[in-house]
Structure 1
């Protein structure tokens, strides 16, 4: 029997997988053509043709078109051409958090409440969560009491937790339910999210196990669910961080994972489509932090001055580091005056040490995010990166030794450059590996350790080591 707690995407029927799907490149080309057509029709004012085109698109593609248009008026025009209030709600649920307030700005709260009737509760909570609080409360009061309470409950969970991204529309049955009754309930479960598993609960609503749909079909109709349950179920709690949820779903190739409240009570599930959004969101955040940019900049919706405010602190870090490097050069000015050829290799030392540090820190941060690197792996990871730094340092150091000898005619200068790059690589690999792991241990986001911080630190370290060795060896490299 297949363990329903480990039913994976690979267990989907072969016939479904055999459908001919367009390639990623083909999809992009198709979207580019659609976007170009929309812009041309908007420019010509061909509303009838535009309406026909827009309403043949998937809601996600309509949302993508809206995001790529140039003016708020164009975006609003496209949104209003979507036929059907339910279809408009689906489009809104596909928009980014920066775009939703713009699109709904001119909509009456009653229209929005009606629009969101066909949208799953977790998506409604997401939409209302990005609207101004007063406007969100006004919309909630206009929704049905049952629906609004469900949304309020979801919005009560801290952002970024399992509770905030779960859906409460799932199929859970008492464990005494028979197989035949379960199938009947399954046929009637029109509001439930895509049903991958049937969850069984006890009288108090606590999760007791899960059963696969396949198992349900091969047992006797009178067999109770409790006779076929797999009780060792992977689950998360409502306060589990969404990154940890994504890690579990990815590690075990799950299509859905149950969410438990206090006492093991089943309150929701998180499906793989929500996990994809989480992974994309978290990866974007980490990449932007590593680059010293803000999350809002990724959507290109911030003003120029807002972007300046986000990036300036990180650039200021680089500025201070560059001034420190300049001060080091001034400190060793007499050595440079003695052997001007030293200047030739300063950019090489600074650039290569910073790049190696960035490579190491990026790999460690990615490993921490995906769960492939744990805090218990500290020394193993450090020694691995040290070995890599040693081998790379020997290779690059040897090349620079030969270069210095041939180019400047000084074997000792080549030796200084080669030794400097070797030492710098060892320090860079160590610092770039240890820093993210220590930050993680201190519950600080390790993404802040990369980018400007690592590169600036290694620029200073590399130049100091190089000029320090050159000063010691100045008598031999004149």
Structure 2
């Protein structure tokens, strides 16, 4: 944490302990809302609620909530009255307010919408019809646009009168039915004759997204074309809203964080649960139980090869190496594929190329590691055949693991299961089982030379 924020955190905690609410309120009035939001990750639930309740200005409270996770913001608001919540939400951008309302209890959300001004509640209810993770769910509806039949002079006059709308360097042009027909920049507008009609200078090939497009796809569009904002249209190409680059940055961060949590078998909801150990354990247990049964299956396979183990007890020395290295290689390949699917750099058309690349990489790493562990086994137990068995098993197991790391995420994506959730625990468990099978099957084939 920055020294400035560290001092601020210590000051607020000290004032909270003393109950100096007036001093805290005055202090919060001088701090940027983003800095206030940053402090929340270091406070316990009681301190978080107390701090939020001491923010006097609804505008500041709204800006703080907009910086926080929407589910967490909803929990803070649940402790307030419906009137207080409606006042705060009316001082927030509609897209953020809609996301928070979506996370409120159903009866409280209905009460809040009834208490809000008609124009505000209508805008929020309109946004609530879209999926939270869609373009419609993250767009801002307070958008500025110009009619195509305006002159440049009239357009500049409209811009000067515009207030409290999203307008980021691009000016979107619509026809009389509000269909998106063009775009131009402020620079274009200022470098042509005032009498020029907008339809004569606008760019007609507009990059836009549909309201039902997933937010990850929206982020890819913005990244691909290096634009600062993208208009959102409905199925008839009517201009519905605008998504700016700051929204896209939030999406990229959220999706990356979500994927990391999923691949670890955890859940972002844990951050909202504070120190509630039983609830956190309940979120993590499903995938751990999956791995538990995989471990039992691995143990059962070892039991089936008990005769081989009994005859060559030295084989036990390399079980952790075989299973561990296979799991590592499979995990690396799975991570690359899952991330590739998430960013759009890997799809079903390029999958074959990725599969063969990972197979080659797995084989090269398997040969290097196999030779190394084979030499170790030979030197340790003074049996060249043991070294050959361990080295060969390592090479095959790592090659299979790399292949599994590609095929498992692909399979789950094909059947509609998020590969970020299922791929890693499946790959780890499957590679443990296949590694043991390969190792002991190889040892059994050469058992007469190992005794």
TM-score by length of 2: 0.96
Q: In structure 2, the residue corresponding to 1:107 is in which secondary structure?
A: coil
Alpha-carbon distance between aligned partners in 2 of 1:394 and 1:172, rounded to the nearest angstrom: 62
Aligned-residue offset at 1:111: 2.1
Residue 59 in structure 1 maps to residue 33 in structure 2: yes
1:178 equivalent in structure 2: 151
1:274-423 matches, within 5 Å, as 274-301=247-274, 303-423=276-396
Alpha-carbon distance between aligned partners in 2 of 1:367 and 1:302, rounded to the nearest angstrom: 34
Change (3 A) 1:160 1:462: same
Q: In structure 2, the residue corresponding to 1:199 is in which secondary structure?
A: strand
Q: Does the CA-based 8 Å contact 1:378-1:434 persist in structure 2?
A: no
Q: Does the CA-based 8 Å contact 1:170-1:195 persist in structure 2?
A: no
Q: Does the CA-based 8 Å contact 1:161-1:238 persist in structure 2?
A: yes
TM-score by length of 1: 0.91
1:115 equivalent in structure 2: 88
Residue 147 in structure 1 maps to residue 116 in structure 2: no
Change (3 A) 1:299 1:77: closer
Aligned-residue offset at 1:319: 1.0
Deviations 1:274-296 (A, max 9, x none): 11221122122211221112231
Q: Find the partner of 2:419 among 421, 431, 446.
A: 446
Q: Does the CA-based 8 Å contact 2:290-2:425 persist in structure 1?
A: yes
Alpha-carbon distance between aligned partners in 1 of 2:305 and 2:368, rounded to the nearest angstrom: 27
Q: Find the partner of 2:44 among 70, 81, 87.
A: 70
Deviations 1:30-61 (A, max 9, x none): 32332222212222334444334322221122
Change (3 A) 1:298 1:361: farther
5+ residue gaps, structure 1: 1-26
5+ residue gaps, structure 2: none
Q: In structure 1, the residue corresponding to 2:196 is in which secondary structure?
A: coil
Aligned-residue offset at 1:454: 0.8
Q: In structure 2, the residue corresponding to 1:264 is in which secondary structure?
A: coil
Aligned-residue offset at 1:92: 2.2
Alpha-carbon distance between aligned partners in 2 of 1:190 and 1:54, rounded to the nearest angstrom: 27
Change (3 A) 1:360 1:28: farther
2:206 equivalent in structure 1: 233
Q: How many residues are paired up?
A: 451
Q: Does the CA-based 8 Å contact 2:45-2:274 persist in structure 1?
A: no
Report 1 or 2 for greater relative contact order, CA contacts < 8 Å, sequence distance ≥ 6: 1
Aligned-residue offset at 1:302: 7.4
Alpha-carbon distance between aligned partners in 1 of 2:384 and 2:291, rounded to the nearest angstrom: 34
1:157 equivalent in structure 2: 130
1:44 equivalent in structure 2: 18
Q: In structure 2, the residue corresponding to 1:229 is in which secondary structure?
A: coil
RMSD of aligned C-alpha atoms?
Answer: 1.7
Deviations 1:100-155 (A, max 9, x none): 23322332212222222221111110121111111111111122211211110000
